Structure 1
Amino acid sequence: MDLDSGRQGHGALLLRCGALLGAALFCTAVLRRWIAGGVCRCSVRMDGKTVVITGSNSGIGKETGRDLAARGARVILACRDLRRAEQAAEEIRRSTGNQNVVVRHLDLASLYSVRQFAKDFLDSEDRLDVLINNAGVMMCPKWLTEDGFETQLGVNHLGHFLLTNLLVPKLKSSAPSRVVTVSSIAHWGGRIHLDDLFFNRRRYSPLESYRQSKLANVLFAKELARRLRGSGVSSFCLHPGVIRTQLGRHVHSWVPLLGILLSLPSLLLMKTPSQGSQTSVYCAVRPGLEERSGCYFSDCAEKEVSPEGRDNAVARRLWEESARLVELKETC
């Protein structure tokens, strides 16, 4: 009798454990589906269109390139690391059957490189239908770019600011065309310190710097839309989601505990690069989106920006200061 009771108790425990495991798996599946967010279900083709994607040798940039190549676009991977970019291009060609995927060198931490890329592009390409400002660095130490800019603002904002302005003539001649800038939900809480953009007077904070650069992306996209109104060129910015990419590699050294947490199974709940690319693709191809130029998107839907991201006066002052820093005499 005692043996039977023990067996029954053991069986009941196994049933409870099984039920808990099943419930946990179900909740994980639901949470993963929710975290994955929106999917771009638009089937628009991009045959005959030319797309430039910065920082596209890995992560969401690479997956954005794969999606647009599958739609028939000529995709230009604008990257600093040419070896990895060539590997990514070959993988995209192989997986999509589109051989019109090319690599060009672009180092956003060098204004010379940005100018050289733009010159070569304008001299050799007939059109530019979509420019996707995707490249970025996240919470790195206080490094300086070739031109003496703090790296996060220099790469995430100033490099793209110069690149976009230099390519505007081709965007206008190819209109209707689009500029898509990858920002982040981290722009909430960000502040633009026009009197100390590079943390020369303040103590450097990797997170504060990152937030400032992502807010700069939002304000840039907004001001670009205002300046290009009526030209046929639209401007959008977006939050891709929390992605399993190499972007957060500096977080591990900056906050060790956070680095440990990011190594736990919670990583399974982050978006894949393919899922994270969906809003970039949406902003690049969705018909009728021109009316929402200047807006901010996430999960393939328009979302609200922070109060700081709606400040038109700061957007204009940041534009003017950015033009001065990159020595751009004529802007759009």
Structure 2
Amino acid sequence: MDLWTFVLAFLIFIVLLLAGLKIYFDAGKGVCHSNADLTGKTVLITGANAGIGYYTALDIARRNARVILACRSQEKGLVAMKQIQESTGNKNIVVREVDLSLMASVKKFAEKILREEAHLDILINNAGVAGIPKMMTAEGFETVYATNHFGPFLLTNLLLDLLKKSAPSRIVNVSSIGHKFGSIEFDNLKAEKWYSKMYFYGNTKLANILFTRELARRLEGTGVSCYVLHPGAVGTDLFRDMPFYMRIPTMYFNYYICKTPEQGAQTSIYCAVSEEVEGKSGKYYMDCRESDELSPKAQDDAVAKKLWEISEFYLNEGGFLH
């Protein structure tokens, strides 16, 4: 075998190997196969103008639901609304502005929803932030905890009566496998003692799961079900800002292992519409199936109850819950 034949054979081998890896990793990425039609249903999705929130909204719109895009930026929300309407033909898409890091904004938003909407069939708490420096809101909350936990907790509670009235209805909370790195420190929920970008993100994702467990317990018999999920590792464009020597491996990691935002939306969609999750309120999902990959901390019902109570206390203290 001459050199060029060897090089050609080696390149063919590499191409086939990479193609095989792509097929292997894609096979494990869950897909929602439900054909559920949502005609006559109203679905509210936070953070719906980009990423997995956008693709969740796009799929829900294709199912003929009325979709409320709850976005921090009205301008970006309107762009997403137009794209979804053009792509699906569904004109029953509206944008409502809300900043989940500010409880006053959440309360004002919820009051508007209660005035405007006769029913709410599905609430998807999708929006979240990560990797930002420590910042305190004007209301005294740390921004990551406010956006990822206190905001969704408040929004859900303010809309509970409407969800109960609309039963059978669902609440879907987007968490992360990053919850395994988290802990609940009741004396540091407002970053009173310390702050870390990575650990606080994990703390809030753990809080999402504990919130869902306690919520499921409190909603027993109401006809309202709730689910929490890990969307998977979703590829980003972060490699564009990396040094050249890191861009190539990161690009390959994103392409072969990470999910696209559309793939990342599948488990949210599954929990929102699939018939398979009925009767499984409070459960944790990955790749469109129930998962037991929960840390022991995420299964502590005593901590879940206490987290609910202290969250209520902080929000009542600010006059936001009532």
TM-score range, shorter chain: over 0.9
Letter in 2 for 1:289: V
Mark the CA change 1:330 to 1:120 in structure 2 (over 3 Å): closer, same or farther.
closer
Contact residue 68 and residue 96 of structure 2 kept, 8 A: yes
* 1:24 and 2:31 aligned: no
d(CA) in 1 for partners of 2:7, 2:27: 30
d(CA) in 2 for partners of 1:262, 1:55: 29
Instruction: Name the structure 1 match of 2:301.
Output: 312
d(CA) in 2 for partners of 1:258, 1:199: 36
Q: CA deviation at 1:190?
A: 1.1
Residue 9 of structure 1, aligned match among 2, 20, 36 = 2
Instruction: Name the structure 1 match of 2:269.
Output: 281
d(CA) in 2 for partners of 1:227, 1:196: 25
What is the CA deviation profile of residues 144-178 of structure 1, one whole-angstrom value per residue up to 9, with x for unaligned ones?
22312111111000000000000001000000000
Aligned residue runs from structure 1 range 115-154, under 5 A: 115-154=107-146
Aligned residue runs from structure 1 range 174-253, under 5 A: 174-202=166-194, 204-245=195-236
Contact residue 140 and residue 190 of structure 2 kept, 8 A: no
SS of 1:292's equivalent in the other structure is coil
Deviates more, 1:137-146 or 1:308-317: 137-146
Count of aligned residue pairs for this structure pair: 318
d(CA) in 2 for partners of 1:128, 1:161: 17
Instruction: Name the structure 1 match of 2:252.
Output: 265
Any stretches of 5+ residues in structure 1 without a counterpart? Answer: 1-7
d(CA) in 2 for partners of 1:257, 1:314: 45
Contact residue 182 and residue 280 of structure 1 kept, 8 A: yes
Letter in 2 for 1:160: P
SS of 2:316's equivalent in the other structure is coil
Mark the CA change 1:34 to 1:146 in structure 2 (over 3 Å): closer, same or farther.
farther
Mark the CA change 1:261 to 1:140 in structure 2 (over 3 Å): closer, same or farther.
farther
d(CA) in 2 for partners of 1:11, 1:288: 55
Letter in 2 for 1:117: F
Q: CA deviation at 1:99?
A: 0.3
Letter in 2 for 1:158: F
Instruction: Name the structure 1 match of 2:316.
Output: 327
Letter in 1 for 2:13: L
The sequence identity of aligned pairs, in percent, is 45
What is the CA deviation profile of residues 247-275 of structure 1, one whole-angstrom value per residue up to 9, with x for unaligned ones?
x79xx79xx99986884332213111110
**TM-score normalised over the length of structure 1:** 0.90
d(CA) in 1 for partners of 2:8, 2:248: 31
Deviates more, 1:280-289 or 1:231-240: 280-289
Letter in 2 for 1:282: Y
Q: CA deviation at 1:288?
A: 4.7
Contact residue 169 and residue 225 of structure 2 kept, 8 A: yes
Any stretches of 5+ residues in structure 2 without a counterpart? Answer: none
Moved over 3 A (4+): 256-264, 328-332
Instruction: Name the structure 2 match of 1:294.
Output: 282
What is the CA deviation profile of residues 187-213 of structure 1, one whole-angstrom value per residue up to 9, with x for unaligned ones?
0121000111233223x2111100000
Contact residue 59 and residue 245 of structure 1 kept, 8 A: no
Instruction: Name the structure 2 match of 1:155.
Output: 147
Instruction: Name the structure 1 match of 2:84.
Output: 92
d(CA) in 2 for partners of 1:49, 1:102: 14
Mark the CA change 1:102 to 1:245 in structure 2 (over 3 Å): closer, same or farther.
farther
Instruction: Name the structure 2 match of 1:5.
Output: none
Aligned residue runs from structure 1 range 154-173, under 5 A: 154-173=146-165
Q: CA deviation at 1:245?
A: 4.6
d(CA) in 2 for partners of 1:91, 1:258: 36
Aligned residue runs from structure 1 range 42-81, under 5 A: 42-81=34-73
d(CA) in 1 for partners of 2:143, 2:265: 24
Letter in 2 for 1:326: L
In angstroms, what is the RMSD of aligned CA positions? Answer: 2.4
d(CA) in 2 for partners of 1:313, 1:89: 41
Contact residue 129 and residue 144 of structure 2 kept, 8 A: yes
d(CA) in 1 for partners of 2:202, 2:244: 20
